[in-house]
Amino acid sequence: MVGRGRGEQACRMTSATPFPPPSTEQSPGPLPRPQLRRSGTETMLGGVSGGLAEYTGIDVVLWRVGFVTLTLLGGSGILVYLLLWVLMPPAADRRPGPLDGPVERLRDALTGARGTRPQG
């Protein structure tokens, strides 16, 4: 009698439970990310930090502190900011500033884009 109880217990421990059937519901895909553009609302100079904040979800103040820190640690913050200012397209709702004309011409010359500025 004792041997039979152990055999049943061993059988229960090693028998696999059936897997649940696969769900027929499709999970929603990843949310679309916004385009990387200079901000039209969070702007102090060129809208670069605001655009990076909108794209990544990191607060704009942290991006600004990062650029200032890079500038103080060797000047690379200014170079990175200027490159991003030239290479990032402006947001559609952005009002043109006094430096946007030359920046757009420089971006068009570097990227080979012609007439891609959003009209708004």
In sequence order, which ranges of 1-120 are alpha helices (DSSP H)? 2-14, 48-56, 60-72, 76-87, 100-111
For the cut 90, the answer to whether the pLDDT of residue 112 exceeds it is no
The pLDDT value recorded for residue 97 is: 81
d(CA 96, CA 9): 78
The pLDDT value recorded for residue 120 is: 45
d(CA 67, CA 62): 9
d(CA 36, CA 48): 10
Tens of pLDDT along 40-68? 888 888 899 999 999 999 999 999 999 99
Tokens 């920046």 correspond to 103
Neighbours of 56 (CB within 10 A): 13
The pLDDT value recorded for residue 35 is: 86
pTM strictly above 0.85: no
Helices (H) and strands (E) in the chain, counts: 5, 0
